[in-house]
Amino acid sequence: MAEIFKDLDPDTMVRSPGITYQELLNTDSHAVPDVLRLQSPKDLGYSEFSVDRYISKDWHDKEVERMWKKIWQFVCREEDIPEPGDHYRYDIAGISFLILRAETGEIKAYPNSCLHRGRMLKEFDGHASELRCAFHGFCWHLDGSLKDIPADWDFPQIDKEKFSLPELPIAIWGGFVFINPDQQCEPFEDFIKDMKTQFERWEPEKLYKQAHVAKIMPCNWKIAQEAFCEAYHVSGTHPQILRSLGCVNSQIDVWDNCARVITPSMTPSPLLDYELSDKDMMRTMMDLPPEAQVPELPEGMSPREFMANSSREDLRPNAGSKVDEYCDAEMLDSLDYTLFPNFHPWGAFNKIVYRFRPNGNDHRSAIMECIMLSPFQGERPPAAPIHWLKEHEKWSSALGFLGKVFDQDAFNMPKVQLGLESTYKSGIVLSGYQEGKVRWLHHKLTEWVGE
């Protein structure tokens, strides 16, 4: 983190009218864990960030050379490759990697490239007992050592002992597998430090991958990503959820490689210009039509506690008694974390994990993915395979209510791209606090890529 960023005093900093997130936590019916009591507001300044970051191929190329080829990045879940020989193809900006489970159970990552004349070794995710290239048949064991060269008499120059697939640094945290394309990279532990401590209580490794949906979006990957990094856009883009979401009362915290936006549910937005009844707020939260009955609140119970309890009962069959340990905030609020540059797991039982990355080397299109993680009892259910939406298919066709919200976000994306291609302005404007995570992302980009 650049040292110019100063800590702000949470008690005196400028913020939205309405209840603060910490004040809301004081009303919780359960003990609030320390992780939600953390506050790390930063003065990130008010500078603009160049439009080139979204529209210039040169900028994309720098991003690839200086960042994507050098940074720790999430590739797949451990459960995507449960058995020896299972492999997963991960591509970033026109470069392909092969992630696989070796005979020993260890996970390994190799460049997806044959050491003969370079053909990619595996085109698809799947299972294999060896890695045999489809071009001339060179073959490696799963542990990367050479197994076979057809007509090897013709390759006297190859030292078979040394002709192993190069290995890439790999790390596992919370059931997520990460690689770094740079063999000289910093240790993963140093990279993930703040996020790792904060997620301890939520144990994402104990969840299973219930769904995995992906789609090519017609915009730079950062446009897609930044649409999910603040709640300030809710009033403009998702007015239907404004009645149950304290959008501008979100708490934004910034550490070094990670940041979070916590957006409270069951508290009305200060941007509403009318009084809202508890029932109306519950109706919105429960997605009930106007004619439907809203349940009666038990005497003395707040709507927030009521909805948290209802969420506890929904989750109890799969999550067990853990739902009684989690406070109302953990049951209801959006605990949206980001590990730079593109990995966004939500805390507690929020389910969502987003990832955004460039689509090959096209800086005007992106791969957006949403992974849903769920608790389970008994044997781990198989991980859902990736489901690719076609250009005309909506997110709501795969993800229901949440998908409808994504479709509203997705609707903006190509318009932001075209708008940025057309602007006479050199940089984008960001708010100081509410868009702090987007601002932090850009400061980190400057650190890795340059201005």
Interacting residues with Fe ion (CB under 5 A): 409
Could you give the angle at the alpha carbon of 104 between the alpha carbons of 165 and 177, nearest 5°?
A: 70
- Which of Fe ion, ligand FES, none does residue 70 bind (CB under 5 to 8 Å by kind)? none
Pick from Fe ion, ligand FES, none: which does 409 bind, CB < 5 to 8 A by kind?
Answer: Fe ion
Tokens of 293: 């009955």
**C-alpha–C-alpha distance, residues 375 and 380, integer Å:** 9
Least distance in angstroms from the C-beta of 392 to Fe ion: 21
- Cα–Cα distances in angstroms (integers) from residue 340 to residues 123, 223, 228, 392, in the given order: 28, 15, 14, 30
Beta bridge partners of 344: 354
Two structure tokens written together for 43: 């003065």
Amino acid at the residue 61: D
Long-range pairs, 397-402, Cβ under 8 A, ≥24: 398/211, 398/213, 399/211, 399/213, 399/370, 399/372, 401/287, 402/352, 402/370
Does 387 bind ligand FES (CB under 6 A)? Our answer is no
Which residue in the set 135, 148, 197, 324 belongs to the binding site for ligand FES (CB under 6 A)? 135
Q: How far is the CB of 227 from Fe ion (least distance, A)?
A: 6
Check: CB of residue 231 under 8 Å from CB of residue 250. Answer: yes
State how far the Cα of 83 lies from the Cα of 81, in Å rounded to an integer: 6
Number of residues located near ligand FES, criterion CB under 6 A: 10
| Nearer residue to ligand FES within complex by CB, 118 or 295 | 118
- Of 98 and 114, the one with the shorter C-beta distance to ligand FES is 114
Q: Of the listed pieces 114-122, 201-209, 304-312, 419-427, which binds ligand FES according to CB under 6 A?
A: 114-122
Q: Which of 67, 133, 285, 308 binds ligand FES (CB under 6 A)?
A: 133
Q: Which of 30, 69, 70, 119 binds ligand FES (CB under 6 A)?
A: 119
We find the least distance from the C-beta atom of residue 105 to ligand FES, in angstroms, to be: 27
Query: Partners of 354 in the beta sheet?
Result: 344, 370
24 binds, among ligand FES, Fe ion, none (CB under 5 to 8 A by kind): none
**65 vs 148 by CB, closer to ligand FES:** 148
Q: C-beta of 162: minimal distance to ligand FES in Å?
A: 17
- The smaller minimum CB distance to ligand FES, of residues 120 and 402, is found at 120
Q: Hey, CA dihedral for 100, 106, 109, 113, is it positive or negative?
A: negative
Contacts with ligand FES, residue ranges (CB under 6 A): 114, 116-119, 133, 135-138
